[in-house]
Amino acid sequence: MALEEKYKALTDAATAAGITDLAVREQDGILYIDGTAADGATKDHLWEVYNQIDPNFTSGDLVLNVNVSIDAAVTHAKVVTQSSNLNIRKGPGTDQPIVGKAAHDEIITLVNRSNDLWWLVRTKDGEEGYCYAQYLEAQA
Amino acid sequence: MKTTKLFMSMVIAASLFFAGCSPKDADIQSAIQAKEAAGITVAVTKGEVTLTGEVVDDAAKVKAEEIAKAEKGAKSVVNNLTVKPADMPVVIAEDPILTKNVADATKDFPTVKADVKDGVVTLTGEINKASLITLMQHLSALKPKKIDNKLTVK
């Protein structure tokens, strides 16, 4: 239970931030924290706390899997790449051919989110395909 | 008013009587508390024992109540213990799926090399500090067993 102690500030922050379905358990010397955050800022805050406890994440003793909850009614997402365009691909995977691109900060239509990692989207030009979900921010 | 005063004095007399004849609440409390498992809080009022806190399973809850009931001076036991919900099992992705997903996640980080073996993602190469959090966030969502970060942070 030493890991729970090491990352107590993080689990406390998760509780304080109202993370839902929070699960904290230790297995084979690694602590697994799962949960759902209300928004991206809450998730980023937890990662900052993690970075304070374990600078640059070098210990390899924690897997922090906090996703941002998305209302089922959400229909649009913003492209949140660092600066570049986001590839739209024929299928869910980087091995799939690129069928289009969405610009940085562009708002695109969500067609299907059944795959956690790759969302099916459509641009305003009518290009349809899969984008890497980590680079999309659901619009309320 | 007279009736109330009379009633009050009767209550005081009665409690003095009880206090004089049976073990004191504080003594019962400390005796039971010493026998109960960690995480259980024992409170005693006029011989009525209340148990609160969280235990690992139903058996522990029943046992805690039996311990309290067996104590001399314990008239009744209110068992308000809750059973800790079972933890969600840790899900770890199979290597073929993880390998594909890690390749997708690291594609935009050309200075990073990622290897997957038995669920462990080993990162080598270099990265700038701002990208590191993004990369770690992406990888942590893929249900790895462990992320072994050997990246040089620039």
Taking residues A113-132, report their average pLDDT: 93
Each as own residue / partner, the long-range contacts of residues A114-123 (CB below 8 Å, 24 or more positions apart, any chain) are A116/A67, A116/B141, A117/A92, A117/B101, A117/B104, A117/B141, A117/B142, A118/A89, A118/A92, A118/A93, A119/A77, A121/A77, A121/A88, A123/A88
Dihedral, B22, B25, B28, B34 alpha carbons, nearest 10:
-170
**Ordered structural domains, chain B, with CATH:** 2-83 (3.30.1340.30), 95-153 (3.30.1340.30)
Q: What is the pLDDT of residue A73?
A: 85
Q: What is the pLDDT of residue A61?
A: 97
ipTM summary value: 0.87
Q: Kindly list the residues from chain B whose CB atom is less than 8 angstroms away from the CB atom of residue A65.
A: 140-141, 143
Query: A90-116: b or e for each residue (b if 16 or more CB lie within 10 Å)?
Result: eebbbebeeebbbeeeeebebeebeee
Say yes or no to pLDDT of B17 above 60: no
Q: What is the pLDDT of residues A99-121, one digit of tens each?
A: 999 999 999 999 999 898 999 99
**What is the spatial distance between Cα A19 and Cα A38, in angstroms, rounded to a whole number?**
7
For an interface test with A, which of B56, B88, B90 has the most A Cβ atoms less than 10 Å from its Cβ? Answer: B90
Other C-beta atoms within 10 Å of A29: how many?
A: 10
Q: What is the pLDDT of residues A1-60, one digit of tens each?
A: 689 999 999 999 999 999 999 999 999 999 999 999 998 899 999 999 999 999 999 999
**Ordered structural domains, chain A, with CATH:** 2-68 (3.30.70), 76-139 (2.30.30.40)
Which A residues, 39 through 58, put their C-beta within 8 Å of a C-beta on chain B?
43-44, 47, 51, 56-58
Give the Å distances, CA to CA, from B47 to A54, B13, B78: 50, 17, 11
Taking residues B12-28, report their average pLDDT: 68
